[in-house]
Amino acid sequence: MDRKLPTLILFVVFSTAVSGQDSDNKHKTQYGIELTQFVTGSGFSSGTEAYFIVIPDHKKQISLGIYYCSEYKKITGISVHHERSLISFKRNKISKVTPYAYYDLIYRKNTIREVLMDKDKIGDLVTYTSMEHHLGIGTRFNLGAGFCLKTEAGYGVYLGSIKKPSSPDPVTGEISGTNGFGVLAKIGLCYAF
């Protein structure tokens, strides 16, 4: 997998989100942080993400984060998340519940012992790479004072899975794993300032 691809994807997604602001500047750009716990259907164990959020208006949100693998207890990737609000349910002119559509990208690179079919043998150290793309829906619940609770569910494609390995590349020694489709479920807390 080309190393420049994740950088290019990040640049395009952030450029699109920031350049899409209203030209009359009615809405001030906000920033925030988010912490989520999630599980995917790609064979990886549950993971944690910490995001930096840019909110150019009240309808869009773009997030860039790091992925922490709970199974191997280390940071093993990056995440990009983009949301678009569908409708807002307000009470006293304050949004209380906001459903949204989202796109989520997770890129992982991890050096671990090779996953072997024979569980009695210990594998060599190898580098696994994986990229997942998910589309789905979520709901943001405003808790007040800039805090919100988020829940999401989606479906997408994974390109590489360490639990379903392919054979190592003869030149680089990297294992890209197998490809497939799987679900994504998340729950998280965010704070906008």
Q: Please answer whether residues 52 and 63 qualify as being in contact, where contact means their C-beta atoms are separated by less than 8 angstroms.
A: yes
β 147-159/179-192 pair status: antiparallel
Whole-prediction pTM:
0.76
Higher pLDDT, 13 or 173: 173
Alpha-carbon gap, residue 184 to 152, rounded angstroms = 8
What's the DSSP call for residue 42?
T
**Average per-residue pLDDT in the chain?**
83
pLDDT band at 85 (very low <50, low <70, confident <90, very high): very high
Alpha-carbon gap, residue 104 to 101, rounded angstroms = 10
Alpha-carbon gap, residue 17 to 30, rounded angstroms = 13
Q: Please answer whether residues 84 and 103 qualify as being in contact, where contact means their C-beta atoms are separated by less than 8 angstroms.
A: no
CA 29 to chain centre: 22
Kindly report which listed range (24-28, 68-72, 117-121, 172-176) carries the lowest average pLDDT score. Answer: 24-28
Domains in the chain: ranges and CATH: 4-16+30-192 (2.40.160.20)
* Buried/exposed code over 108-134 (b: 16+ C-beta within 10 A; e: otherwise): bbbebebbeeeeeeeeeebbbbbbbbb
Percent of the chain with pLDDT over 70: 76
Highest mean pLDDT among 110-114, 118-122, 167-171: 110-114
Alpha-carbon gap, residue 41 to 184, rounded angstroms = 7
- The pLDDT assigned to 21 comes to 45
Alpha-carbon gap, residue 136 to 110, rounded angstroms = 26
